[in-house]
Structure 1
Amino acid sequence: MSSAINIVELQQVEKKYQGVSALNKLNLEIREGEVLGLFGHNGAGKTTTIKLILGLIGATSGQVKVFGEDPTQSEARNLRRKLGFLQENVSFYDQLTGLEVLQYFARLKGVSKKNCLSLLDQVGLSQAGKRRVKTYSKGMRQRLGLAQALLGEPKLLLLDEPTVGLDPIATQDFYRRIEQLKEQGCTVILCSHVLPGVEKYIDRALILGQGNLLAEGSINDLRHQADLPATFHLQGSGLALPDSLAAKATHDELGTRLDVPLTEKMSAMQQLVGLQGLENLDIHLPSLEDLYTHFIESHTGNGVSAIQEAAQ
Structure 2
Amino acid sequence: MNATVRVDNVSKRYGRVEAVADVCFDLGEGEMVALIGHNGAGKTTLMKLMLGLIRPTHGSIVVLGDNPAAGQFAGRRHLGYLPENVSFDAALTGRETQTFYARLKREPVAKALQLLDTVGLGAAASRRVGTYSKGMRQRLGLAQALIGRPRVLLLDEPTTGLDPELRQTFYGVIQRLAAEGTTVLLSSHALTELEERAARVIIMNRGIKVADGSVESLRSIARLPTKIRLKVANLAPGEVPSWLPASTACRRLNGHIVEIDAAPEQKIELLRCATAAGTALEDFDVVPPNLDELYAHFLHKAEGMP
TM-score range, shorter-chain basis? over 0.9
Q: Aligned residue for 1:280?
A: 283
Q: CA deviation at 1:257?
A: 1.8
Which one-letter code corresponds to 1:158 in the other structure? L
Structure 2 counterparts to residues 121-270 of structure 1, below 5 A:
121-236=117-232, 237-238=234-235, 240-244=241-245, 246-254=246-254, 255-270=257-272
Which one-letter code corresponds to 2:251 in the other structure? H
**Aligned counterparts of 2:305 and 2:170: Cα–Cα separation in 1:** 34
**Aligned counterparts of 1:302 and 1:180: Cα–Cα separation in 2:** 40
2:51 to 30, 51, 54: 54
2:300 to 285, 293, 297: 297
* Structure 2 SS opposite 1:117: helix
* Structure 2 SS opposite 1:115: helix
Q: TM-score, normalised by structure 1?
A: 0.91
In structure 1, list runs of 5 or more residues that go unmatched.
304-312
**RMSD of the TM alignment (CA)?**
1.7
Which one-letter code corresponds to 1:89 in the other structure? N
**Aligned counterparts of 1:198 and 1:269: Cα–Cα separation in 2:** 29
**Aligned counterparts of 2:296 and 2:89: Cα–Cα separation in 1:** 39
Q: CA deviation at 1:190?
A: 0.1
Which one-letter code corresponds to 1:15 in the other structure? K
Q: CA deviation at 1:270?
A: 2.9
Q: CA deviation at 1:284?
A: 1.0
In structure 2, list runs of 5 or more residues that go unmatched.
none
Q: 1:173-215 CA distances to partner (integer Å, 9 max, x unpaired)?
A: 1111111111111100000011112112111000000011111
**Aligned counterparts of 1:19 and 1:53: Cα–Cα separation in 2:** 22
Q: Aligned residue for 1:65?
A: 62
Q: CA deviation at 1:147?
A: 0.4
Q: Is the alpha carbon distance of 1:141 and 1:234 closer, same or farther for their aligned partners in structure 2, counting shifts above 3 Å? A: same
* Structure 2 SS opposite 1:162: coil
Matched, 1:26 2:11: no
* Structure 2 SS opposite 1:283: strand
**Aligned counterparts of 2:230 and 2:96: Cα–Cα separation in 1:** 57
Q: TM-score, normalised by structure 2?
A: 0.92
Q: CA deviation at 1:89?
A: 2.0
Q: CA deviation at 1:65?
A: 0.7
Q: Is the CA contact 1:249–1:256 (under 8 Å) kept in the aligned structure 2?
A: no
Q: Is the CA contact 1:232–1:282 (under 8 Å) kept in the aligned structure 2?
A: yes
Q: CA deviation at 1:219?
A: 0.2
Larger CA deviation: 171-180 vs 273-282? 273-282
* Structure 2 SS opposite 1:295: helix
Q: 1:101-151 CA distances to partner (integer Å, 9 max, x unpaired)?
A: 000111222222121221111111111111111221211111110000011
Structure 2 counterparts to residues 5-24 of structure 1, below 5 A:
5-24=2-21
